[in-house]
Amino acid sequence: MTLMNQQSVINCQPELVEGGQQLTTILVTGGHGQLASCIKCIEAKYDDLNFIYTDYHDLDICDLNQVQSFFAANTIDYCVNCAAYTAVDKAEEEKELAFKVNAEGPKNLAMVCHENKVVLIHISTDFVFDGNKREPYTEEDKPNPISVYGSSKLQGEVEIQQFLKEYFIIRTSWLYSEHGHNFMKTMLRLAEARDEISVVADQVGTPTYAGDLAAVIIQIIRSKSQNYGLYHYSNEGAVSWYDFAKAIFVEINEGIRVSSIKTEDFPTFAKRPSFSVLAKFKIKEKMSIEIPYWKDSLIKVISKLYK
């Protein structure tokens, strides 16, 4: 869950751009998270879009009455749901809260989007899979989450599909950016305090720059795509956490020693999929997008932080 101040909410009635064309208004929940922050960084490029950012202080998506009232008071064309309970290990102890935010919240949004003819874009996760496959997961593969977090996110997908036809569910993986808390920023912080670090090497996935995902979301909206449904999006390539950490330190020219360890050597409350690479054939074909390689995006982010 993310935090945001009350000034972020705009009572938004239809506005016009030059020439009398109506703006497309987009509600972004989870307005202080890294994905929403990345959307903010590029929104100025698009004068045909109007954004409303909220967090749970402004709009509690778990409260159906609040959601209904908010949509009644604002003219909204798209809702991008970035709000989520993402504390993977803590979710094992806070199952009820995880399901409330990750399943009941999306259900409320789906119901109200249906009532108001709003297109919902919902962000989900590679953690809906068990990791037993050894080739990239497609949208047709059967989910089998092995953690409370993964189960709660899968239930959110199910709820949306029950109430809506006009939706985009985008599963992504290993999200990071220059904003918020994420693996890359943790590694950068540790590099300032340590000479050596151990990182798990037997979990394989794809680091995904939130800025790249933000651009895809805006492309879907501006293209007014009606290719609704479930999609996978991550950067290209596959890598372990160990290799991701090494790449980060190379880019910042730090000589920190990185040791590889097994998952069993670093026990956590929640189980993680050992392999969660996502296949992107569908989104590349349906949305006509080019997806950057993970290391190219990492270099871009590091450059932003250190320039």
Catalytic residue IDs: 149
Give residue for tokens 């871009």. 300
Cα distance between residue 278 and residue 234, in whole Å:
7
**In angstroms, rounded to a whole number, what is the distance separating the alpha carbons of residues 102 and 29?**
12
Cα–Cα distance, 144 to 272 (Å, whole number): 12
Q: Which residue has the tokens 């720059």?
A: 209
Where does the chain show beta strands of DSSP type E? 24-29, 49-53, 78-81, 119-125, 167-172, 175-176, 196-200, 204-205, 208-209, 229-232, 239-240, 257-261
